[in-house]
Amino acid sequence: MIQRIQSIYMLLLILINIFIVISIDSNPEMSLSESYFGYFRPYIDDYFFTEILSMVILINIFLFKKSALQINILRLIFLILIFGLLNLFDERSLESSFTDPGLIYFLVSFFLVFMSIRSIKKDQSIISSSNRLR
């Protein structure tokens, strides 16, 4: 499971999502313990998306025997990321959206999801070619 390259890509995607949630602000009122267990969680609507996405990706890693389902879930995540990117451009002016660090999150996430899908398809082709040899 972990030795497969798509699992590494998905773990990197989880780490990016967790980093987004943990690095809320450098504001002392928003420290890590308070943001998870305390009262200071005003951004719950903004970061609920990344927490749920991390859980879905973690579950997706353990579906390594069902590669077709894994690809479909990753495609759904890709579509969710597209809607998130459209939301990023919708809320702000175009000039401030291109300089926003959130754009880097979406670009890296798109790349990792694309590479995960690509490596799962490679595994499927290797398995199907080995089945033909049997």
Instruction: Quote the distance between the C-alpha of residue 128 and its chain's center.
Output: 28
> What's the confidence (pLDDT) of residue 114?
93
> What's the confidence (pLDDT) of residue 51?
79
> What's the confidence (pLDDT) of residue 99?
67
> What's the confidence (pLDDT) of residue 96?
65
Contacts 24+ apart (CB under 8 A), 57-63: 57/10, 57/13, 57/14, 57/17, 58/10, 58/14, 60/10, 61/1, 61/7, 61/10, 61/11, 62/1
CA distance 4 to 103: 28
> What's the confidence (pLDDT) of residue 91?
64
The number of domains in the chain is: 1
pLDDT tens sequence for the chain (134 residues): 556 888 898 999 998 888 777 765 444 444 444 444 444 444 445 567 777 888 899 999 998 888 899 999 999 999 988 887 887 777 666 666 666 667 777 888 899 999 999 999 998 888 888 888 77
| Domain extent at residue 97 | 5-133
CA distance 63 to 78: 17
Q: What is the end-to-end Cα distance of the chain in Å, rounded?
A: 24
